[in-house]
Structure 1
């Protein structure tokens, strides 16, 4: 299995990433799903179905990360705390893996998700740098 080459941090980067209005709504200890929806809606504009799909898939990825080890595709961040590093392969898998019902919420089949990570990781490893 190829190891991930590039990692993208999902760590909160503060108001330089989002407007101060959005930052003022963020609850560091709570559920920020309304904030995520706001950001997705601003990003996708007049395509609410894409906002919904992105939120559903990121939620499914988050739940999978909490329930199973996704190493080497998702690893703890060197910054510590709850921050993680998510490989491009894991994000590609989250974008393309079939959504299934997992205890009444959108989720991914662990084996299929990991197979897609390996597939995208191998493709990435073979890409010219």
Structure 2
């Protein structure tokens, strides 16, 4: 699979893409990740890392489906934060489209060009919430 899932400290989850990642793969991972309300509530943050992704196979409809899945997770866990790392312009653009679709969602999202920036944002948000 082109997406690896790793548990991180503090209730975090890392989704790391490699090679070619399709919207279907990302949706499948999120369906498992957000499979129950109990599990969803336990997630403090998601770090979605596309640094090692060569190609993303997704159009507007697929990005909308991913955003809708994340929105439903945010309703269950409004304190969850999601940081996306996207180096390539196309990946960044698709991620920003996703972020805009989630502007009215109950959780916070942010797209970054580097993992250190994303990690610093996560730390600042966790510190602000006392998590």
Structure with the larger RCO, 1 or 2 (CA within 8 Å, 6+ apart): 1
TM-score of the alignment, normalized to the shorter chain, above 0.5 = no
TM-score by length of 2: 0.29
Q: Which has the larger Rg? A: 1
Q: Which has the higher strand share?
A: 2
TM-score by length of 1: 0.29
